[in-house]
Amino acid sequence: MNFRMSRRMFLKVTGTATAGLSLPSVVPERYLSWAETAPEELKPVPTFCELCFWNCGLIAKVQNGKVVKIDGNPLSERGRGRLCGRGNAALGSLYDPDRLKFPMINTGRRGQPAWKRASWDEALGLVARKLEDIREKHGPETVALFSHGCGGAFWKHLMKAYGSRSHAAPSDAQCRGPRDVGFTLTFGSDVGSPEYYDFGESRYIVLIGSHLGENAHNSQVQDIVTGLAKGAKLAVVDPRLSNIAAKADHWLPIRPATDLALLLAWIRLIVNEELYDADYVKAYAIGLPELTAAVQEYTPEWAAGETELPVETIARVARELAAHRPNVIISAGRYNCWYGDDTQRCRAIAILNALLGSWGRPGGIYLPAGGGVPEYPDLPVYPSGRAGLPELDAAYPFALSQTTTSVRQASITGKPHPFKAWLVYGCNLIKTLPGRDETVRAIDNLDLLVAIDILPADITRWADVVLPECTYLERHDALSLGRGKNFEVAMRQPAVSPLFESKPSWWITKELAIRLGLGDYFPWKDGEEYLRGRCRAGNIDYDELRGKGVVRFSGKSSPYLSPHEEREFDTPSGKIELYSGQLADRGFDPVPKYTRHEQPPAGYFRVLFGRSPLHTFARTTNNFLLADLVPENSLWINRKKARELGLEDGEYVRLENQAGFLSPGKIRVRHTQRLREDCIYMVHGFGVHSAELTRADGKGIGDEEMLARYSIDPIMGGTAMRSNFVRVVKEG
Ligand SMILES: Nc1nc2c(c(=O)[nH]1)N[C@H]1C(S)=C(S)[C@@H](COP(=O)(O)OP(=O)(O)OC[C@H]3O[C@@H](n4cnc5c(=O)[nH]c(N)nc54)[C@H](O)[C@@H]3O)O[C@H]1N2
Ligand SMILES: Nc1nc2c(c(=O)[nH]1)N[C@H]1C(S)=C(S)[C@@H](COP(=O)(O)OP(=O)(O)OC[C@H]3O[C@@H](n4cnc5c(=O)[nH]c(N)nc54)[C@H](O)[C@@H]3O)O[C@H]1N2
Ligand code: SF4
Ligand SMILES: [Mo]
């Protein structure tokens, strides 16, 4: 199908064209008081954004003690002087009247809290006493940290000093984990974050389910726009005509859960017609004969049956792609916990890139500059873990880091070892782990749950103690390192002092450490001294960094392979592994095999979800600037289907999943021709259930509320969430 949207319209829809937003009338009155005093000069304070994890550099403009405007920092490679729609809404986060204001202790029940305001001393004293007690009775490894975001570095440091190595993140096992593992099994390394996708130089781009543009990762959206402007061809595989699919040369509205069939058919066609980069494969890869033999059953005709895509389109895209090699990318996007065979799907994507020679080639997947900054110098060594401790992720042999899946399971069963406390930093586990009942059961087993957050988010309602962090515009923080074609170091510094009694993580962790007898691990007086120490260790001029916000170091090596370059890959064979001996040794398919997934029964639709261009999960759904623009999510449903069901455009409905669970909230129907008939689509982050979040509470439905069922990727433990079916329930 062909449908092109103009570039200007695309930018408008994706929000990347917005310049610095000034404050609209929705700002609470009391924050507008600067207008009454004589305006001072605007003072620029360079720092970086935390409204998502791209960490774009920004410059906060401060006047009379208030941040009045935010601009992009041109020195930042991840932003290049621009901010996305969310980044521009910084003031809605900083000046959100619903923010957590002081430490709180839950005197009620988890999930039905009764809050008592506490002093920092009381709250930290309580947490420290409990952690001491747990360390003595059960061992330090029974405390787990969940984290997402820059300040998590201080919490990881605290946990290691305390003696626990248990650290997990939904941004791995519920996000990019399968992709990182699939690529690492193939190339010996993953595609990074920011991804090493060289879109700006590509001649042919294939996006597998990635909705870049709605996924608003700043410089990456700029890169793909650049590539398209320079004439790159684009094919988008998505059951939904996403904004970027609307710009594509080919939209492939694939039947959900069948992507692996398409990928295997492409591999077959490319090897059978000898369209691959023979020199490259000969020089760098092993396993072509085994790969060729293993894919013979996957004919384009067979794939057409599975995917419901025209056989001509399947063959045409493969041939076009090969004609543009090696300046091509078959992108795995970022979020990949789809159907349970996700590592294998990502491996198929990696194999395609390898066959077309795109790894290390212009317009393909570039080789990052690398680089790093040492930790703070001269810290005491961490205590070693208890000898003989059973490995938490032993069940998932190729997990690259500890999985939330294993920590939650161990918290329920006590196996392979129990958990007694969770520290939850910047994670909203109630909304971001599938199978809420299990999350609640795990939490019920704990002696302590501490949430460190900026908002009274859903997860805070399950905490025993809530510690209010100040927002990113009010704090020093860990460094943010960007490994792209250049290496960049960004620093965060407060534009204004913390509001209310909120505190930065460097302070909270230091105070906890002192109470736990671990003060030696936190020798810095304050956040600035911590950053000076890191800069000293990394030979970075602190004053330059503070003045610019970002410093960049040019790459020591080329982003591209030179012709005939010898290269060793970090795999067991030193080669790109089209056939994976490692997988075979562990009893997994060495070449991806197709598995057929269940399709929705009659009357039901598969639940698909994705990103709102103007929100980051539930992080921003209460942000007054963004809630003003996108106050709730809607239920995308194919118009023909909607009419059959008698659903009006705009009416509110409930959803009931295959397990008979009826959504407590309602969602507005949105008729569309941009979606297949067998699925519905909604953006993640709504369906908040926290009355203190006055703008977000009760708006729309959370996709996670419908996800009773998930399957676990046996290779790396990721939880696949797109195998749930719902029917639409009309009100009354
Ligand atoms: N059902 C469903 N589940 C999903 C997804 C989905 O689309 N649907 N997406 C998956 C993906 S891709 C990912 S990456 C994960 C993300 O899942 P998580 O790692 O849990 O992250 P967030 O949802 O971003 O959690 C945000 C929490 O951090 C708080 N927060 C915001 N800023 C700060 C700050 O500066 N300091 C502190 N201390 N807290 C802060 C917010 O208030 C909120 O409570 O979720 C995954 N899970
Ligand atoms: N604005 C904004 N941007 C964000 C975020 C945010 O919260 N807000 N979050 C960031 C994070 S943490 C992540 S991980 C990324 C995620 O962003 P991406 O990796 O780009 O995308 P996904 O969430 O996997 O993709 C959603 C798309 O997949 C399609 N899809 C669903 N099922 C299938 C299927 O079976 N096959 C195929 N081919 N497609 C399918 C959906 O229709 C939808 O268009 O976004 C990042 N960028
Ligand atoms: S992409 Fe947007 S929200 Fe994410 S860091 Fe950059 S400006 Fe902030
Ligand atoms: Mo993610």
Residue-wise pLDDT for 181-224, tens only, equals 999 999 999 999 999 999 999 999 999 999 999 999 999 999 99
How far is ligand 3, taken at its centre, from the CA of residue 84, in Å?
Answer: 6
Cα–Cα distance, 619 to 715 (Å, whole number): 30
* Ligand 1 contacts CB of residue 175 (under 6 A): yes
At a CB cut-off of 8 Å and minimum separation 6, what does 314 contact?
Answer: 262, 265, 266, 269, 300, 303, 304, 307
What's the CA-to-centroid distance between 434 and ligand 1, angstroms?
Answer: 13
Q: Rounded distance, CA 687 to CA 692, Å?
A: 14
The CA–CA distances, whole Å, from 397 to 583, 588, 714 equal 9, 11, 8
Pick among 3.40.50.2300, 3.40.228.10, 2.30.30.140, 1.10.10.10: CATH of 174-368: 3.40.228.10
Q: Where are the beta strands (DSSP E) in 214-325?
A: 233-237, 250-252, 285-286
Name the CATH topology of 7-94: N-terminal domain of TfIIb (2.20.25)
Around Cβ 505, how many Cβ atoms within 10 Å? 28
365-387 mean pLDDT: 93
d(CA 453, CA 461): 11
Taking the C-alpha atoms of residue 100 and residue 673, their distance in angstroms, rounded to an integer, is: 42
| pLDDT for res 9 | 43
pLDDT of 389 strictly over 90: no
Q: What pTM value is reported for the model?
A: 0.95
Q: Write down the domain spans for the chain.
A: 7-94, 99-169+401-469, 174-368, 605-730
CB atoms inside a 10 Å sphere around CB 586: 13
Give me the chain's average pLDDT, please.
94
Mean pLDDT to the nearest integer, 459-475: 98
How do residues 580-620 score in pLDDT, each as one tens digit? 999 999 999 999 999 999 999 999 999 999 999 999 999 99
The candidate with the shortest Cα–Cα distance to 463, out of 435, 437, 432, 439, is: 439
Identify the architecture of domain 99-169+401-469 in CATH. 3-Layer(aba) Sandwich (3.40)
Which parts of 590-702 are beta strand (E)?
A: 605-610, 634-638, 652-657, 667-672, 679-683
Atom of ligand 2 lying closest to residue 257 CA = 35
CB-defined site of ligand 2, < 6 Å:
52, 175, 208-212, 215-217, 237-240, 242, 254, 256-257, 259, 333-335, 338, 608, 610-613, 615-617, 681, 722
Q: How far apart are CA 99 and CA 470, in angstroms?
A: 9
- Indicate which ligand has the atom closest to the C-alpha of 607: 2
Going from the Cα of 683 to the center of ligand 1, the distance in angstroms, rounded, reads 14
Is the CB of residue 610 below 6 angstroms from any atom belonging to ligand 1? no
**432, 467, 502: residue to mutate for ligand 1 pocket, most atoms within 8 A of CB:** 432
82 CA to centre of ligand 3 in angstroms: 9
Pocket test for ligand 3, best of 16, 47, 52 (most atoms within 8 A of CB): 52
Among 196, 539, 263, 211, smallest CA distance to 374 is for 539
For residues 671 and 643, give the distance between their C-alpha atoms in angstroms, rounded to a whole number: 9
The closest-lying atom of ligand 2 relative to the alpha carbon of residue 684 is 7
Q: What confidence score (pLDDT) does residue 36 get?
A: 54
Is the dihedral angle over the CA atoms 210, 211, 213, 216 positive or is it negative?
A: negative
Side-chain half-sphere CA neighbours of 483 within 13 A: 16
> 22 pLDDT exceeds 80?
no
In the predicted structure, residue 34 carries a pLDDT above the cut 70? no
CA 528 / ligand 1 centre spacing (Å)? 27
Residue with tokens 């970002």: 550
pLDDT surpassing 80 at residue 484: yes
CA distance 68 to 22: 8
- In this predicted structure, the answer to whether residue 422 has a pLDDT above a threshold of 70 is yes
- Residue written as tokens 């060729």? 292
- Please say whether the dihedral angle defined by the alpha carbons of residues 532, 535, 536 and 542, taken in this order, is positive or negative: negative
User: For the CA atoms of 340, 178, 193, 359, what is the dihedral angle to 10 degrees?
Assistant: -120
Contact between 24 and 628 (Cβ < 8 Å): yes
Radius of gyration of the chain (CA): 25
Question: What mean pLDDT do residues 85-100 have?
Answer: 98
Percentages of the chain per state (helix, strand, coil), in multiples of 5 = 35, 20, 50
Question: 703 CB less than 6 Å from ligand 1?
Answer: yes
Per-residue confidence (pLDDT) for residue 537, from 0 to 100:
97
Separation in Å, CA 38 to CA 65, 166, 360, 409, 608: 12, 52, 56, 58, 52
Strand partners, 615: none
From residue 30, give the alpha-carbon distance in Å to each of 25, 66, 75, 107, 455. Answer: 12, 12, 34, 32, 19
Quick one: CA dihedral 694, 696, 701, 704, positive or negative?
A: negative
Lowest mean pLDDT among 85-99, 189-203, 384-398: 384-398
What pLDDT does 385 receive? 82
Exposed, middle or buried, 37 (CB in 10 Å: 0-12/13-18/19+)? exposed
Q: What is the pLDDT of residues 514-553, one digit of tens each?
A: 999 999 999 999 999 999 999 999 999 999 999 999 999 9
| CATH code for the domain defined by 605-730 | 2.40.40.20
3-class secondary-structure state, position 171: helix
Determine the pLDDT at residue 27: 46
Write the CB contacts of 475 (distance below 8 Å, at least 6 apart in sequence): 151, 469, 492, 494, 498, 504, 505, 506, 527
pLDDT at 12 over 60: no
* Residue predicted with more confidence, 22 or 333: 333
